[in-house]
Structure 1
């Protein structure tokens, strides 16, 4: 079957002109979807407007030229890994050519490999593919060489929603530059468990309403930038002590608790037009009493709660079906059919596409699904492609691709984000004021802290003393003098913790806590503060969240009096330092 034979009476004039001019060396169906991108661009500011295409004549034409098996296959997005491996490439290419799936999910690869593979896959797919990625920090999370945006926990310290919108828009710009249409972000999980092994700093924080505000702002930036945003991981992965990649977490909270914490960000994002929601591999007893059944396979959670109860009409997408949190629920293929029957529209990363298509047809025969369900889901999937501009020409996969993407970033964005995130936490203990004998800043530099110290020293005179494991605390104390400021520069956290808790340095710490007002700059997760013994006795802790140049620069500006701190702590880390606190 060739889509070059789509009846012309179903096409509008613009499609016929483009086809006759042969502007793009792609099938006619791809041209049809390109025209959808042009139409969508005229309504860029509208929220969640892809559903208007569900009954569009172009979707009709596509849908009616698909076989029943191909209509099912459109509901599956395949995972691609190791694109430098010819066997891995051939395996996915064979699946695309044989079954005609709806799209691909890219894991860790180079930019050139991703674009090159997209072109190869497009050449054997009769329907333009939709390309997706986990881009929580922009393209950098999966694409080598791209400049990363701050992690969600860093963004959680920022109150200015305009900055968060800019971050979302930049993520969209990067992904569009790679030909990617869907971003599995933002994370809408409320991380109320500091020991959470899989979410943690991927979350905006522990206050559900603050998480909601930031998730919505980031989502608007992405979708206004032309990329589908996907809220994850429904109904909330923020209070688990098990990684769903490895096993099935169980959530035991009441429905009332879920309504006031976990579901709040999802509700806000739905009301603001998020196009996609990812279903999680979590057992949630208050929403479905079936033991061992994850949310991703639960009709009460997806159809009854998410779609009917919360009014979500966008695309429901499973988390990866190769994760152990779902694998025990059934064999590959069968679990995919169960996922569609539960209310998912798209199944991500099936382990056996052929078996999945067969299992879906068996589920239809058994009355678990209907062909009407398949048509509704398929039309929704095609409408999403039309909105996203699938089939548009891809960028050239050359060596300058990463450079072009990086050079297109607004030069002020990362400095603005890290300066807005910088959070100053006051210490608990009073110190004895000393009359300084030097205006220099004394930098106590821990392993890995050199770059931070360099940034501080560039803004004012500074003396340095390096702290290493085994150093004699009393000897170092005698070298301190009476400096106006003492700043401890932490670097790689594992090494800093070893030095900080080294018994040989105990005399130094005792003297510092008692006699000098000490500032400690921490370039890591706030959850790690408790690992630095007695850190609350510092005069203040300057939290910059990440060990990157822009964060170090923000610390240097603050310590030299050139930056007023406005960041707020996104999570509670002790009785002294609680969520929302900041100087």
Structure 2
């Protein structure tokens, strides 16, 4: 048995197929990411999550569920969480209560957002959401935009910490993204390879400051598919300098590191050469990632998912890549440690009802 299961894959539809189950049973698969196509209603989602856990209890069930335009489940009772920019705007609105009143209201609302978001997901069986976004809002990036709290890294850090406190209250871990910062570049790494030409000093003083200030609070981090040529020729998620030398050693982060989606354009070209999903996965893991994501590839037969699993298995057997026990410990640490109330119980929970009243 392998000491680590680094692959986070997806499943095709509303319920597990025999092929999905076969893939999820593979010892190199450590989790699954859910998307809008995996959602019909709460009952269906809950059954799907139970079926995944029946395959293997240790599988981490993940989703991109930040609020605003990045919220996979929006109907059948799920609360519409505001975009994080709404919290940043609330921070600036002191009203009649004096200087700083807006900041206090915003941090309270952020905690409420985190609790509602995490509690509703957990009531349906989802373990983990890739949130919060720690990117700064420079007003240039369409892919980040209102997903960011604010331009000021101090505001971002305090609002993110408040949101993470709410997630913790719901029993859910957190994931800061996209290290060291995606907000400065205009290009979208889903379809392009963004390049940020600023110096390391400038990035650390500004964009990366939240990762320093939140190093004792962050459970996991997702690096950006962005190239910072004054630091490394490779995107941050494939750079040992960024992940080991800067994030872990200089900034003191000890949690799990996820790659961003390996199917994004920003992950498909390394050192000027187009790479396969397996080559990209091994490059990310060697650079310091603990887990790698391959998203939206289970459709139409899922040949890409099978190729990645087979390729990683072959690489392990050949000794080209070796799983790390510390990475498995970091993965397992993201699983909820206490049982969550079911949906009906959550709806009458005083803490939940109070949090709903605090949302902006």
**Which interval holds the TM-score relative to the shorter structure?**
0.7 to 0.9
**SS at 2:9 equivalent:** strand
1:307 corresponds to which residue? 248
What is residue 67 of structure 2 aligned with on the other side? 137
Structure 2 SS opposite 1:318: strand
Distance 1:204 1:172 in 2: 18
Deviation at 1:233, TM superposition (A): 0.6
- Asked if 1:92 is matched to 2:20, the reply is yes
Asked if 1:265 corresponds to 2:247, the answer is no
Paired residues in the alignment total 326
Equivalent-residue separation in structure 2 for 1:144 and 1:257 (angstroms): 38
1:417 aligned to 2:332? no
Summarize the Cα distance change of 1:321–1:140 in structure 2 as closer, same or farther, 3 Å threshold: closer
**Aligned partner of 2:84 among 121, 141, 152:** 152
- Alignment partner for residue 212 of structure 1, among 146, 152, 157? 157
TM-score (norm: length of structure 1): 0.52
When residues 221 and 414 of structure 1 are mapped into structure 2, their CA distance, relative to the original with a 3 A threshold, is: closer
Match of 1:186 in 2: 132
Counterpart contact for 1:337–1:359, Cα < 8 Å: no
The alignment partner of 1:229 has SS state of coil
Q: For residues 55-70 of structure 1, what are the structure 2 equivalents within 5 Å?
A: 67-68=1-2
Which residues in structure 2 correspond to 1:525-540 (within 5 Å)? none
SS for the counterpart of 1:256 is helix
Q: Residue 174 of structure 1 is aligned with which of 95, 120, 125?
A: 120
Residue matched to 2:46: 115
Distance 1:185 1:393 in 2: 19
User: C-alpha displacement at 1:282, in angstroms?
Assistant: 0.8
1:283 to 227, 243, 247: 227
**Can you give the 5+ residue segments of structure 1 that lack an aligned partner in the other structure?**
1-66, 396-400, 419-583
Matched residue, 1:441? none
What is the distance in 1 between the residues matched to 2:312 and 2:285? 11
Match in the other structure for 1:12: none
2:143 counterpart residue number: 198
Deviation at 1:178, TM superposition (A): 1.5
Kindly indicate whether residue 259 of structure 2 is the aligned counterpart of residue 318 of structure 1.
Answer: yes
* Structure 1 residues 81 and 136, CA gap change in structure 2 (3 angstroms): farther
Distance 1:140 1:283 in 2: 24
Structure 1: how far apart are the matches of 2:147 and 2:89?
A: 13
The answer to whether the 8 Å contact 1:106/1:114 transfers is: no
Contact 1:134 1:141 in 2 (8 A): yes
Give CA deviations for 1:55-112 in whole Å, capped at 9, x if unaligned.
xxxxxxxxxxxx13xx34x11111235326x7xx443222113446211111111333
User: Where in structure 1 do 4 or more consecutive aligned residues deviate above 4 Å?
Assistant: 392-395, 403-415
Deviation string 1:471-511 (CA, Å, 9 cap, x unpaired) is xxxxxxxxxxxxxxxxxxxxxxxxxxxxxxxxxxxxxxxxx
Q: Whose Rg is larger?
A: 1
Matched, 1:128 2:80: no
Question: Following the alignment from structure 1 to structure 2, what is the Cα–Cα distance between the partners of residues 309 and 188?
Answer: 18
Q: Could you tell me how far apart the structure 2 residues matched to 1:303 and 1:140 are?
A: 29
Return the offset for 1:404.
6.6
1:389 matched to which residue of 2?
337
| Matched residue SS, 1:285 | coil
1:123: how far off?
2.3
Give distance in 1, aligned partners of 2:158 and 2:116: 18
Q: Are 1:365 and 2:319 counterparts?
A: yes
Residue 246 of structure 1 and its aligned partner are, at CA, apart by: 0.7
- Distance of 2:195 and 2:69 partners within structure 1: 31
* Structure 2 SS opposite 1:278: strand
- How far is 1:312 from its partner? 0.5
Say which structure, 1 or 2, has more relative contact order (CA 8 Å, 6+ apart): 2
Tell me the TM-score normalized by structure 2.
0.82
The answer for the alignment partner of 2:109 in structure 1 is 163
Shift in CA distance, 410/389, structure 1 to aligned 2, threshold 3 Å: closer
Report what 2:299 is aligned to: none
**C-alpha distance after superposition, 1:374-393 (max 9, x if no partner):** 222123323433xx238x69
